[in-house]
Amino acid sequence: MTEADNRLKSLFALDEPPPRDAVFSTAVMEKVMRRRFQEDVALLSVASVAGGGALWAVWPTLQPALVAVSQGLAPALGALALAACAAVILGGRARTALGLEA
């Protein structure tokens, strides 16, 4: 290499970003993701307890209404539940198999 090449190389070296420490980056991201996971679990736990408490409070009023409505709608709701399960399990393949999607 010539002297000019060495000077250019040293000049361009000043603009290069510092090398990344993969172990440090992994440790930091692990802590961030662990904190997010703990926050999500805490939020879902609080929401579940609140929903359960609300359902427990209104159940004596809600139960007779559900019994009255379910006698007439049970077959239709069963069919809808079965269709929803089939759609989820098959994904987009059902539309293609039926020719609804090109």
pTM of the model: 0.50
Query: What is the distance, to the nearest Å, from the Cα of residue 58 to the centroid of all Cα atoms in its chain?
Result: 30
Decide: 54 and 61 in contact? Cβ < 8 Å. Answer: no
Token duo for residue 62 = 């809600």
* DSSP track, 2-51: -HHHHHHHHHHHTTSPPPP-HHHHHHHHHHHHHHHHHHHHHHHHHHHHHH
Assess whether pLDDT exceeds 60 at residue 97: yes
pLDDT number for residue 93: 67
The mean per-residue pLDDT over the stretch 57-61 comes to 94
Answer yes or no: is pLDDT of 46 > 90. yes
Token pair for 99: 């020719």
More confident residue, 34 or 95: 34
pLDDT tops 70 at residue 1: no
